[in-house]
Chain A
Amino acid sequence: MAATQPTNTRLKVEFAVSLVLLAAVAALPAVVTNAYWQGVIIVSMYFAMLSIAWNLLAGDTGQFSLAPATFGMLGAYTTGLLSYYYGTGAAIGVPAAIIVSGGVGLLLGRIVLRLRGPYLALTTLSFAEIMRLVISNSIDFTRGDLGLNVPGIFQGRLPYYYLFVIVLLVTQIGLFYLLRSRAGLFLRAIRDDEIAAASRGVRIVYWKTFAFTLSAAISGLAGALYGHFAQFVSPELGLISQTGIVISMVVIGGLGTMVGPLAGALLVYVASEFLRDSGNWQLVIFSLLVIVFARFFRQGLWGILLSAFDRKPARPASPATATE
């Protein structure tokens, strides 16, 4: 049946490549022994989680939200506040973060249900800014811009490193099975044409809310893990520039693919470390890259790679003749 299911073949290839990529990341500490650079890769994996979550919403479901970093911040603050007030650790804080950010994502999803395109983007953007301002101004409750100290989980870098690798792996596996199931069909149908999807019986409200909730929950998980790794959370996690970085990662890597967000996050974040000395120029460079990619390479780096690969073998005149 493989020949009859081009989408599933595409998914399988993307999934396999993303596993190879993760295996390479897992092997990196053998070469990268410097703790600082291991930390850089850990943070890039945090961004990879946010990118994967945002890609599920924007790339697969077509809901261009501008709040991925906000849900990361909510997750980080959930576990941060729990430990600050009740002295709980990650075992309670991380699941709570998933539930809280998923719940807020569900609410936001219901609110923006009938909004599309720029209206959706602007509403989620104002939501993001409101959340950040509320956290940074509720000084009595959250200590505002001072941030919160969060207890760590492990000693040393490597255990965190492999925790992030494992969480990324589990997320990718889960998404692979989700996207190849009927849910994947429905999400992509909503992305392509919501009215057509509704008229063919797809439960729009349910699946859009589902995508918002799941995406927010994954972001929240990422944020909580990041909080425990950095042992510190602050409202800066929810800055719009953080969302901008997430979007640029996905667009550069390849929107709507399983490889794109992962590869984009790793490449962009590690590259940004090299550009650190140039200060704000790194934002200028990434913005330019996003414009170039959005204009000329809609499929991102993954698309460029695929088309380079596609040209090599002589393809039959009609690509879809294999129908047994």
Chain B
Amino acid sequence: MPCLAIKNVSKAFGGLKAIDNASFSIEAGELVGLIGPNGSGKTTLLNILSGHLSCDSGSVELDGKPITGLRPEVLARHGVLRMFQLTRSFPRMSAFDNLMVTGCALGLSQGDAEKRAMKLLEDLSLTRIMGLDAGQLSGGQMKLLEFGSCFMVPPRIALLDEPFAAVHPTLKEIMSGFIRSRHAEGQTFIVVSHDMPVVVELCPRSVCMNAGRVIADEATRTVLSDKVVIEAYLGEAAA
């Protein structure tokens, strides 16, 4: 049974088909890249998976159970944790408390949450700034903090939307190192990214979307040399 199964999901905004009959599934422990040109529907799909949008048709299953239409806070409790493309944090709470919110909301005791928060801050080299309000952090640190927030309680699946965009190379290295080590421990991921070198390096398998449709779903290197994929990114002439 796949960890996450997306079955014939469609979503339209007025006349625009943002997601057009998309289907694919992810096995437990997989690290899958979700790629595609701007406007291809990647973020919309993540919004549906994390409960921030409802889909018009189709269904999503987590461990064989339907989760279509559940609210974000319910999905988070089921272990679907999500990082936003435009960073979302609690700007007037300390970095430490930002992590505590997730830990406590997902059912840890305050003592356990404190221990995990300290460990995560250390793993992500954020210990130095943990007393600062999240609003005072740099863009990259804020992103790293939101990233860390997804792992306060090991999620069933982590949905990362552009974690590497506009992030300093050092922080990017911290993040991808963290993803690699968690993946080695069996953590399941979907990573949306435009950063192809990182996707190639991190994700054994990639799903490519274009105009709302899944146009390729194979080993990452095969996907990137796929004629249809190159055409989608660069236009017909290049392919």
Assuming the A-B contacts A6-B131, A185-B100, A318-B128, are A196 and B92 also in contact, with contact meaning beta carbons closer than 8 angstroms in the complex? no
Tell whether, in the assembled complex, residue B130 and residue A323 are in contact, meaning their CB atoms are under 8 Å apart: yes
The verdict on A117 contacting chain B, using a C-beta distance below 8 Å, is no
Nearest A residue to B77 via CB reads: A201
A230-249 contacts to B, CB under 8 A, are: none
Which of A182, A192, A201 is the one whose CB lies under 8 Å from B93?
Answer: A192
Once the chains are docked, how many angstroms separate the CA of A192 from the CA of B97?
12
Once the chains are docked, how many angstroms separate the CA of A37 from the CA of B219?
81
Tell whether, in the assembled complex, residue B127 and residue A191 are in contact, meaning their CB atoms are under 8 Å apart: no
With a cutoff of 8 Å between Cβ atoms, the chain A residues found around residue B114 in the complex are 1, 4
Once the chains are docked, how many angstroms separate the CA of A256 from the CA of B118?
26
Tell whether, in the assembled complex, residue A196 and residue B89 are in contact, meaning their CB atoms are under 8 Å apart: yes
With a cutoff of 8 Å between Cβ atoms, the chain A residues found around residue B104 in the complex are 182, 185-186
Tell whether, in the assembled complex, residue B72 and residue A186 are in contact, meaning their CB atoms are under 8 Å apart: no
The verdict on A320 contacting chain B, using a C-beta distance below 8 Å, is yes
Tell whether, in the assembled complex, residue A201 and residue B105 are in contact, meaning their CB atoms are under 8 Å apart: yes
Nearest A residue to B128 via CB reads: A320
The verdict on B168 contacting chain A, using a C-beta distance below 8 Å, is no
Measured as residues with beta carbon below 8 angstroms from the partner, the interface class of chain B is 35 or more
Once the chains are docked, how many angstroms separate the CA of A321 from the CA of B129?
8
Once the chains are docked, how many angstroms separate the CA of A323 from the CA of B100?
17
Nearest B residue to A189 via CB reads: B101
The verdict on B149 contacting chain A, using a C-beta distance below 8 Å, is yes
Once the chains are docked, how many angstroms separate the CA of A185 from the CA of B101?
6
Tell whether, in the assembled complex, residue B100 and residue A200 are in contact, meaning their CB atoms are under 8 Å apart: no
Nearest B residue to A200 via CB reads: B102
Produce 1/0 per residue, B86-120, CB < 8 A to A.
00111111101100111011100010001000100
The verdict on A294 contacting chain B, using a C-beta distance below 8 Å, is no
Nearest A residue to B135 via CB reads: A192
Tell whether, in the assembled complex, residue B101 and residue A199 are in contact, meaning their CB atoms are under 8 Å apart: no
Once the chains are docked, how many angstroms separate the CA of A185 from the CA of B114?
13
A1-16 contacts to B, CB under 8 A, are: 1, 3-7
The verdict on B73 contacting chain A, using a C-beta distance below 8 Å, is yes
Once the chains are docked, how many angstroms separate the CA of A232 from the CA of B18?
62
Which of B76, B118, B129 is the one whose CB lies under 8 Å from A200?
Answer: B76
Tell me the smallest distance from the CB of B108 to a CB of chain A, in Å: 9
Tell me the smallest distance from the CB of A63 to a CB of chain B, in Å: 15
A189-243 contacts to B, CB under 8 A, are: 189, 191-193, 195-204
Once the chains are docked, how many angstroms separate the CA of A203 from the CA of B106?
10
With a cutoff of 8 Å between Cβ atoms, the chain B residues found around residue A110 in the complex are none
Once the chains are docked, how many angstroms separate the CA of A323 from the CA of B129?
10
B44-79 contacts to A, CB under 8 A, are: 50, 52, 71-73, 76-77
Once the chains are docked, how many angstroms separate the CA of A321 from the CA of B52?
38
The verdict on A279 contacting chain B, using a C-beta distance below 8 Å, is no
The verdict on A319 contacting chain B, using a C-beta distance below 8 Å, is yes
Tell whether, in the assembled complex, residue B96 and residue A4 are in contact, meaning their CB atoms are under 8 Å apart: yes
B26-52 contacts to A, CB under 8 A, are: 50, 52
Once the chains are docked, how many angstroms separate the CA of A19 from the CA of B2?
57
Tell me the smallest distance from the CB of A321 to a CB of chain B, in Å: 7
Which of B52, B100, B105, B130 is the one whose CB lies under 8 Å from A195?
Answer: B52
Tell whether, in the assembled complex, residue B92 and residue A199 are in contact, meaning their CB atoms are under 8 Å apart: no
Tell me the smallest distance from the CB of B96 to a CB of chain A, in Å: 6
Once the chains are docked, how many angstroms separate the CA of A319 from the CA of B94?
13
Most buried by B among A182, A192, A193, A195: A192
Which of A7, A191, A195, A204 is the one whose CB lies under 8 Å from B88?
Answer: A195
Tell me the smallest distance from the CB of B126 to a CB of chain A, in Å: 10
With a cutoff of 8 Å between Cβ atoms, the chain B residues found around residue A185 in the complex are 93, 97, 100-101, 104
Tell whether, in the assembled complex, residue B105 and residue A200 are in contact, meaning their CB atoms are under 8 Å apart: yes
Which of A193, A197, A323 is the one whose CB lies under 8 Å from B128?
Answer: A323
Tell whether, in the assembled complex, residue B129 and residue A320 are in contact, meaning their CB atoms are under 8 Å apart: yes
Nearest A residue to B88 via CB reads: A196
Please list the 4 inter-chain residue pairs (A to B) with the smallest Cβ-Cβ separation, ordered nearest first: A201-B76, A320-B131, A192-B90, A196-B88
Query: What are 10 A-B residue pairs whose CB atoms fall within 8 Å in the complex?
Result: A6-B96, A182-B105, A185-B93, A185-B97, A188-B90, A192-B89, A196-B84, A199-B52, A199-B76, A201-B77
Known: A196-B90, A198-B72, A321-B128. 15 other contacts (CB 8 A): A4-B131, A182-B110, A186-B105, A191-B92, A192-B90, A192-B92, A193-B88, A193-B91, A195-B88, A199-B50, A199-B88, A201-B73, A202-B105, A203-B73, A319-B132
